[in-house]
């Protein structure tokens, strides 16, 4: 049997897709694959991510190809996959998650807490921008675009003094770059960060059965909790929410921090549940966030987005 896979053309996307292929072949050596690269809006639109008021900019075109049967399934960075997929598609598989934390890379080897005052720090994420300024209000944070290699090169070339990135991409690409691992307490990641999401058509039962062979149940439970939370608070590139779920003994624990756009206020909620009740856990955390005033925290984000867009 041969399957056609759709993915973005970046080195990270291709590396992730080839990893998925290698994992499936361990379970089904006779299965063959063809990889097709597809450009997405996120690949062609150079604006900062938070200024694009649209979900799925890194996956919509690829998932459309799945729905139209041009490819059989798609491999995504899971944080790019909207919580609500088209009716005929399904998140068929969530393999084992890489490290979910962020890292800091400086052109002089400094750490974020020691880098010089006024240093120019790049990030593509409004969440990270808020987190940086909360602990280092004396640095300048500016939007940066491009793939991981491009962003790191901009640091090494002196265009930026430092950059904050996800560790998972650096690990998957095998980049031998020196970095500071950032604490999950001060830099909780985006929901789904570090995980992969494989999308297929709901009616492709035999393919889904094959993909399930490389699913990691622990990662799936954690992701379901984070995505459930995202659905109920409508988080995304324009609303900085840090969320991370993980198994703690025999319980599933979800910790969420929501920031005001200026970074001056935050709300933290942490709850746990049975591992089988991941969706309920996300909903419970979202409910408590609403009770603690998440609507007030979120209301000024539009002004901040415009301010950043003019930098």
**Which residue, 189, 8, 9, 2, is CA-closest to 99?**
189
* Residue 80 is among the residues annotated as catalytic for this protein: yes
**Which residue, 83, 39, 46, 44, is CA-closest to 64?**
39
Question: Which one of 63, 72, 80, 161 is the catalytic residue?
Answer: 80
d(CA 26, CA 202): 24
Neighbours of 263 (CB within 10 A): 17
**Which residue, 192, 201, 195, 191, is CA-closest to 91?**
201
Task: Report the residue count for the chain.
Answer: 311
d(CA 309, CA 287): 31
Q: Which residues are catalytic?
A: 80
């Amino acid at each position: 049997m041969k399957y056609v896979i759709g993915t973005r053309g970046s080195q990270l996307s291709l590396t992730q897709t080839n990893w998925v292929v290698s994992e499936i072949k361990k379970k089904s050596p006779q299965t063959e694959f063809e990889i097709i690269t597809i450009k997405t809006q996120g690949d062609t639109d150079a604006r900062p991510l938070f200024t694009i008021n649209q979900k799925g900019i890194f996956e919509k075109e690829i998932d459309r190809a799945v729905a139209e049967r041009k490819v059989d399934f798609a491999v995504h960075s899971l944080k790019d996959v909207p919580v609500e997929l088209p009716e005929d598609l399904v998140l068929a598989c969530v393999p084992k998650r890489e490290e979910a934390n962020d890292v800091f890379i400086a052109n002089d080897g400094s750490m974020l807490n020691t880098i010089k005052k006024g240093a120019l720090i790049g990030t593509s994420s409004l969440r990270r921008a808020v987190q940086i300024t909360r602990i280092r209000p004396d640095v300048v944070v500016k939007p940066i675009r491009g793939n991981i290699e491009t962003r790191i090169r901009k640091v090494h070339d002196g265009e930026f003094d430092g950059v904050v990135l996800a560790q998972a991409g650096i690990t998957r690409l095998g980049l031998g770059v020196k970095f500071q691992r950032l604490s999950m307490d001060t830099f909780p990641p985006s929901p789904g960060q570090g995980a992969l999401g494989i999308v297929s058509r709901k009616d492709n039962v035999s393919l889904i059965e094959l993909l399930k062979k490389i699913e990691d149940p622990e990662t799936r439970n954690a992701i379901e909790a984070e995505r459930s939370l995202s659905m109920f608070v409508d988080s995304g590139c324009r609303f900085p929410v840090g969320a991370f779920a993980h198994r703690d003994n025999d319980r599933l624990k979800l910790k969420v921090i929501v920031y005001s756009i200026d970074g001056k206020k935050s709300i933290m909620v942490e709850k746990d549940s049975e591992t089988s009740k991941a969706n309920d856990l996300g909903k419970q955390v979202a409910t408590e966030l609403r009770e603690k005033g998440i609507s007030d925290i979120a209301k000024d984000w539009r002004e901040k987005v415009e301010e950043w867009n003019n930098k």
